[in-house]
Amino acid sequence: MVELLAGADAETFGRGTGVAWLAYDLSALGALVAFACIRHAKYSLRFRMIWLAMAAVSLGGVGIWLANSVALLGIRVHDTTMRYNVALGASALAIAVVGVLAGLLISGRTPQLPRLVVGGLTTGLSVGLSTYLTLDALTVQGSVDETLGLIGVSVLLSMALSTATLWAAQVVRPVWLRVVASLLFGIGVGAVYYTAVAALEFTLDAGGRIPSGLPLFDLVFPMFVIGSMGLTVPITAVLIAPDRRDTAETPAPPADRRRALIS
């Protein structure tokens, strides 16, 4: 059994590694759907914001926040009641989605290094803050502290991951390469999350007040169902939307080209 949590008798994979694999699958799937949406946004004017919004929900909401929340289910701290602060969890979700959307808008349609760096830093800070709030929402009978150094490393990793993800979303075209990029994204999210988890320090008080909030499973399970079902919307949109790449890459009269992009 791998032990990363400091203090108390806490286990990162206390309920087995199956939960971690499920979280990884969510990250990779969210990224794969997001990459497809971003490709459509690149060649569309009228529906660009809709495509980017779906990409932000898929990447930030499912690929990051929901994956982290599911991974939390694997943490086991003995001899205490664990609860989850819903307000902090909701804030983490909103920050992840808005941060990804902001990064996509800043980075633009085509690779430009200054915009890519600014977009990556913006998204990375948001992802790091979202991960921190997701973990900070976890409460026990006692206290949960964080090692700031490891939290800082987690934020730096999230910046690097976000910049690489925005770059891949702009330049990677073949579907099989998108799949590879999505799998690597899942590894990156796991690295950010477990680095932050390693910063947690539990101090337990068995006779202390039972913390307020929801049992983690009571929140994560319905969000898992909603998030999984929610992915069907962008997946369906990707499947039925026309492929604009050939239209955009083939020379065409200006008027025809404008009509193709607007559609």
pLDDT at 102 over 50: yes
> For 191-232, how does the pLDDT look when each residue is reduced to its tens digit (9 = 90+)?
999 999 988 888 877 777 888 888 888 888 888 888 888 888
Smallest Cα–Cα separation from 103: which of 151, 154, 38?
A: 38
With cut-offs at 50, 70 and 90, classify the pLDDT of residue 188. Answer: very high
> For 113-149, how does the pLDDT look when each residue is reduced to its tens digit (9 = 90+)?
999 999 999 999 999 999 999 988 888 888 888 888 8
> For 10-51, how does the pLDDT look when each residue is reduced to its tens digit (9 = 90+)?
678 877 788 999 999 999 999 999 999 999 998 888 889 999
Handedness of CA 100, 105, 109, 111 (dihedral sign): negative
Handedness of CA 125, 127, 131, 133 (dihedral sign): positive
Question: Looking at this protein, which amino acid is placed at residue 179?
Answer: V
Global confidence as pTM = 0.85
